[in-house]
Amino acid sequence: MTAKGYFITGTDTSVGKTHVALALMSAFKAQGKQVTGMKPVSAGGRETKDGLRNDDAELLMRAASVALPYELINPYAFKPAVAPHIAAQLAGINIDIQHIKHCYRQIASNADIVIVEGAGGWLVPVNDHQTMADAAASLNLPVILVVGMRLGCLNHALLSVESIRSKGMVLTGWVANHISPTMEKSKNNIECLKQLIPSPLLGIIPHNSSVTSRQAAMDLDISLLMKTE
């Protein structure tokens, strides 16, 4: 089976990449697709009897249509909640993008859709010479950008878009995720980004910590993804 996937990146850390990834998984599952998630690199894990586990990676696992080993879903898991390359250095490990690619291929052979969630923002380093952007490029997946709606998001979003396109990657869509309940003129900011980002707005997720992934999926129009490919 040939899998199709999307790489989820964000304008920063803690902008809702996991929430959007889960919403996308729910939306594709509602279409009858076999869906799995992947978190290639995680920093901020906890010790369990089975080894280090990351909350975001476990959420992706639980939302999947197919049960796969944790080590495939999250091949690089680190305990400190710091930049991935620093966490790897502290653990004496080198993050190998080829290993990430190998794990992705195994996951992809079991699903129709693979939602791959990056760590941090688009250009966060993963080792001394490569960034998360290089990991995305190695998987050759279209990119979905999660824009954390807060003061400064215009600059962060447009810089991310410019970098994604300069890497030769396809930005297939973006999501406006309201992470600040008090952001002023959020509608104006979204309208500005709609004018300046040459990819469709897939949806606007309101600020509400109680919104489930299934409810958030209703705010996303995944049909727009097909129009950009």
Q: Which residues are catalytic?
A: 39
Q: Which of 198, 171, 203, 190 is nearest to 27 (CA)?
A: 203
Residue 136 phi/psi, 5° resolution?
-65, -40
Q: Which residues pair with 116 in a beta bridge?
A: 7, 38
One-letter amino acid of 225: L
- 73 φψ region: left (φ > 0), alpha (ψ -120 to 50), beta (else): alpha
- DSSP symbol at 46: E
- 136 Cβ partners below 8 Å, 6+ apart? 7, 9, 116, 118, 122, 143, 167, 169
- DSSP symbol at 23: H
CA 101 to CA 107: how far, in whole Å? Answer: 10
Per the CB < 8 A criterion, the answer to whether 96 and 87 are in contact is no
